[in-house]
Every structure is written in C-alpha cells, then in structure tokens.
Structure 1
C-alpha cells in the first residue's frame, strides 16, 4: 500500500494524481448535492468559426451526447491509470525523458479509452430516454434548445414536465440550425442512438 502511494505521488504521476483527487472531490460534492453534475458551459462547435476539426474531436468524445463533466472525469481517470501502469512497468528508474514520452502516450490512450467508454454509455443508456410514463412522453412535445445550437450533428433540448425538466439529445434535419433558447417540436426518435429529431415550432 505504501509503494502504491509513493508511486501515485512520484513526480511523473503527481499531475494526474492531483487531477484525480480534484475529480473525486468534485463528485463527492455533487453526491452531497452542493454542486450540479453538469455545471460546465455549453461548447460552441460552430464550423464557421474554424471549429471543424475541434467539432470532430468533440464528437469523437461524444461531447454533446454525454455530459462534459462525465467525459472529463473518465479522461482523467483513464490517463491516471495508464500513467501509473506505464511508469511502474516501463519506467521503474523514473527517467524524465521516458516519463515525458509516456505522458503523451498516456494522454492519447486516455482519449481513446474515454471515447470507447462514452460510446458504450450511449448504447446502454441512450434508449432510456423514451420511457413510457406521463412525464417521459417526449415525442410531439415542445422543447427549448439549451446548447449553443441544434443541428444535424450536435445539440440538446430541455422539455418541461410536472417534475424536473427532461434533457434529451436532439438533432435537426434538412440542414436546419436552431440556436440556444429557440422552441422546437420533437417529432421522431432514433432509439438505437438515443437521439430525437426536432423541427421548428410554430405556436
């Protein structure tokens, strides 16, 4: 146990250990109800602003479909695990050169592990958006765009209910783009992907 602790606070692993500690502290605060699990701001992925590559990167990590806080947490935990294992088995001498090389490899592995995890989450939990209860009836209801936009590749919509609002992953059709705050009509669902299709709402 002492060896594990010493490994965790070694100079090469310490940055990831600090991030992991902050992540655990954050989720403890969330569990106690003192913080929102999805407090991070919406990400603007508009390709018109030169964000095409960035948008592809965010979509690779399923950002917009999975809360940012979950994606970041999985990324930190994955990178920490890879760092601990790589430095223990491949860099027992604590070489700075080897450790720096492993740092970049660990970050890449963490990204791929995060992308895999988020895709598994979407396949498991995505279909649950359509539970058949009075408040969970989503089709043909009006919602409000809560992300920077809803287009063919990205977006979320919030639906008011008698209880807590429902947030669903939404997509527009026919190259339409709806901006934050717009009212949209939910008219179709892709149960396999856990997304809903929206169109312009006309009162």
Structure 2
C-alpha cells in the first residue's frame, strides 16, 4: 500500500499535475465551509438565471457562448462554484491518468497537451453531474414568497445593462441589499446601471425576476 501511495503522491506533485493538485486545497475548503453553513453556494455575484454569466451588455459573442456553456452544464440551477469544483476534480483525474500512461518523462509540453484533451471528458462528466444534482439544487432555491420575497420591491440595476436576456438588480432591504437575476419584459427599453426598477413577478422554473422601469410604474 505504501508504494502505491508514494506513486500517487509523486504523480500528483509532478510538474504537469501540480497546478491542478494545488487547486484542490481551496476547493476542499470551499465545500467544507458550505456544508457547515458559513458560505453560500451563490456567494459570487454571477447571473445564473438564464443559464449563464451576465456578460454586461448581454449581446457579445463571448457572453453568449459563456451563457450557452453553463446552461449546457445545468448552470441555470447548479451554482458556478459547485460546477467549477466538479470540473476541477475531473480535470485533475484526467491529467493524472494521462500523465501516468502517456508522459512518464514528465515533459511539460506533453503535459499541456494532456491537460487540454482532459477538458473534453471533464466537461462531459460535469454536465452529467450537474444533471444528477439539478433536482437537489432546484429544491434548495426554495419558492417565491419563502426564500426571496421581493416582488413589489424597488431596486437599482447592478449589471452593466438590463434587458430581456440578462441583468442583475439590487433590491432594497432593511437588513442587507438582495442581488437578484432580473429580466425586462419583452419590448422594454434596455436599462443602464443605476436605473430604478420595481420587481413585477418571479419565474420559479428559471429563478429569475421580471422588472419594470420605475418611471413606467409611476406615470
């Protein structure tokens, strides 16, 4: 058993695998803090509502590609930190196996190629894991009126732009401001950061909120 442990340790600390091995430490700490309740899965201010990162302008090719990728991996329900940790573990496992079988000399160029190829099964396995965990995270989000009673409240646009496909709004709250994933209703004029809005309704399936510009309500 001891020789096997030493072999695994030597492989994990080899130049081609070490960067991924070092990232496992913060990942383990993240999961521990989540399980003991001192950190929330959605602590990073990223728009998960439509299955992707809020790209700011909501219309760039890069932003659209990122939104598609995370929707593909069930990022519309499973938070990005969780998906990232799963992908890291699968990528680490892939590079470990790849370097064990195809890079005995620990060549850095070969290690980089292996790491690139390892992304393919890592993405596929992350998608499968997200699919399995989707019901659990969907249940953890709760329902409108229990976890996030914000319908009818006023707030300000926090993202670079708020339109029909992307955006975030900071809702006024007596204790602490609430950051929600928001969308404008079809046909609405896009709004800029800092504009006042009011929350109109909640889409439970996608966990996003539809808002209207405040002056439209008051007029």
DSSP-derived class of the 1:132 partner: coil
Which residue number in structure 1 is paired with residue 194 of structure 2?
Answer: 181
Do structure 1's residue 56 and structure 2's residue 50 form an aligned pair? no
Residue 148 of structure 1: CA displacement? Answer: 2.1
Change (3 A) 1:184 1:55: same
Give the Cα–Cα distance (whole angstroms) in 2 for the partners of residues 144 and 187 of structure 1: 14
**Over aligned residue pairs, what C-alpha RMSD do you find?**
3.8
User: How far does residue 11 in structure 1 lie from its aligned partner after superposition?
Assistant: 1.6
Given the two structures, how large is their TM-score scaled by the length of structure 1? 0.70
Residue number among 112, 116, 135 corresponding to 1:104 in the alignment: 116
Tell me if structure 2 keeps the 8 A contact 1:64–1:154. no
TM-score by length of 2: 0.66
Counterpart pick for 1:38 among 37, 44, 47: 44
Cα distance between partner residues in 1 of 2:84 and 2:204? 26
CA distance in 2, matches of 1:8, 1:64: 33
Residue in structure 2 matched with residue 11 of structure 1 by the alignment: 15
Question: Are the equivalent residues in 2 in contact too, given 1:126–1:193 (CA < 8 A)?
Answer: no
Residue 196 of structure 1 corresponds to 209
- Aligned residues of 1:129 and 1:168 also touching (Cα < 8 A): no
Deviation larger for 158-167 or 64-73: 64-73
1:68, distance to aligned residue in structure 2 (A): 5.6
**Shift in Å, 1:199:** 1.7
Instruction: Give the direction of change, closer, same or farther, for the CA distance of 1:65–1:164 in structure 2 (3 Å limit).
Output: farther
Pair member with larger Rg: 2
Q: How many equivalent residue pairs?
A: 196
Q: Aligned equivalents of 1:83 and 1:22: distance in 2? A: 19
Q: Which runs of 5+ in 1 are unaligned?
A: none
Question: Structure 2: which 5+ runs fail to align?
Answer: 47-52
**1:76-107 superposed Cα distances (whole Å, 9 cap, x missing partner):** 3332232223333x426246365333211123
SS of equivalent residue, structure 1 residue 139:
coil
Q: 1:170 is matched with which residue? A: 182
In the alignment, the residues of structure 1 paired with residue 165 and residue 33 of structure 2 have an alpha-carbon distance, to the nearest angstrom, of 32
Query: 2:202, 2:209 within 8 Å by CA — same for their partners in 1?
Result: yes
Q: Does 1:93 align with 2:104?
A: yes
**Change beyond 3 A, Cα 1:68–1:136:** closer
